[in-house]
Structure 1
Amino acid sequence: MGNQKFVGYHGTFQNVVDNILDEGFKPQKRINHWLGQGTYFYTEKKLAQWFITRNSKTDREKKKINSPIAIIKAIIEEEDSKVLNLDTTEGVDLFFQCIDDHSETFEKIEFTKNDHINRCIILDILTRLCGFNVIIKTFEASDHQPSYAKVNTSFFDRKIIPLNVHYKETQIRVSDQECIKSTEVEHAIEYKRPKRLYFDDKNQFLG
């Protein structure tokens, strides 16, 4: 039995950085977390910066925070048995095997039509019953031209050349922060929306 090591990036604000470094993260609970309750990291610094920049302008509570954004880089190391990697075939097999093993528990739950809420409920239960602490999953952007992107990939597939290549975001959820071995601040530069790449329906690059 070995350990797995990951590097994650968490977007926050400079006014709480010292508190996070001294006392750890204090995640907010939500019923529709992507991977259950816990602290979230992106595997790409750019995405962590994009997420906190967007939230600082759109989230009602975060709009009240008068502080520059900051990025915290974390080294995460956990035992193999406590990592559920939903990007691997073994991880998906394990996920559904655990659901089957605890089917009596899940039969008592009234699920919704919202995949975020259902997945959050299940992963919170599996965290408790199966001991999963670190959960990893890559999500394909539901918007094929998210605000961090240069290309509308859906339009490209429809009008130029069908390629089925879309933007993806890998997230790491940590429940018990004991697995976070180190944290350091990477001060972010001002986030700027990327220059778009545009194509017409005659396969011509427009600039």
Structure 2
Amino acid sequence: MDSNVIIEAYHGTDLSNAESILKSGFKCRPNKHHWLGNGIYFYMDFSLARWWTTNPTNKFGVRVRTPAIIRCKLNVNNEYILDLRRLKDYTKFVEIYRNEFLPFLFKGDLISVTEDMIDTKKLRCTYCDYLNIKYKYKLIIGTFYLPNQPYMPTEYGKFFHTFNISYIENQICVFDTNVISSMELVTEDRS
């Protein structure tokens, strides 16, 4: 039996953008390099949203002069969440890619075109958009591991080799903004 899940999520941006969002809602700016498809992005960790406001990428058109963080409650039925932290969802993600998306993408012509010839960022974004359109996912929770994250001291990446325990970053891409049940401007993590 599926049920609703409530997720607390954080969106870092400039204060002027935050005020506009609180007044008029989020608006997606499509970009072929988005991590998890074209949607609104959130961190599950307040400190990462705060970090992003001090180190934004120009790729997504955000210039942060006055950092601001919006805390949102995402309220969505579990059947419309693709959570790549769960093994069953990750397995589904891989199987749909292999068995459905690749044949669709290459239309059976794997001799002249190979996966290595494609920009992986664009491919990942396109694939996640495909999942949203075909399977009606309202949000995807993605996990990212890089041994040397820019928000961590360099030596922390080496710690993984000591205990085989790593930090996995979680991001959320919301395709359907109707799942955002509340929004508030926050200045500190109160969780």
Q: Quick check: TM above 0.5?
A: yes
Distance 2:106 2:168 in 1: 32
Give me the whole-angstrom Cα distance separating, in 1, the residues matched to 2:157 and 2:89. Answer: 29
The amino acid across from 2:155 in the alignment is: N
Q: Which amino acid aligns with 1:107?
A: F
Structure-2 separation of matches of 1:95 and 1:62: 30
More helix by share: 2
Where relative contact order (Cα < 8 A, 6+ residues apart) is larger, the structure is 2
Aligned residue in 2 for 1:135 = 140
Which shifted more, 22-31 or 118-127? Answer: 22-31
Query: Equivalent residue for 1:30?
Result: 31
CA contact (8 A) 1:98 1:130 kept: no
> Does the aligned pair in 1 maintain the 2:39–2:173 contact within 8 Å?
yes
Matches of 1:47 and 1:92, distance apart in 2: 23
Unpaired runs of at least 5, structure 2? none
Distance 1:164 1:155 in 2: 10
- Taking only aligned residues, the RMSD between alpha carbons, in angstroms, comes to 2.6
SS at match of 1:162: helix
Q: Highest Rg: 1 or 2?
A: 1
Which residue is 2:96 aligned to?
98
Percent identity of paired positions between Structure 1 and Structure 2: 28
Helix, strand or coil: the match of 1:31? coil
Q: Does the 8 A contact of 2:13 with 2:68 survive in 1?
A: yes
Q: 2:151 is matched with which residue?
A: 148
Counterpart contact for 2:32–2:122, Cα < 8 Å: yes
Q: Hey, what does 1:169 align to over in structure 2?
A: 169
Contact 1:153 1:165 in 2 (8 A): no
Partner of 1:195: none
Residues 183 and 117 of structure 1, relative CA distance in 2, 3 Å threshold = same
Unaligned segments of structure 1, at least 5 residues: 190-207
Secondary structure of 1:173's aligned partner: strand
Q: Which whole-Å CA distance do the structure 2 matches of 1:9 and 1:169 have between them?
A: 13
Partner of 2:130: 125
Alignment coverage as a number of residue pairs: 180
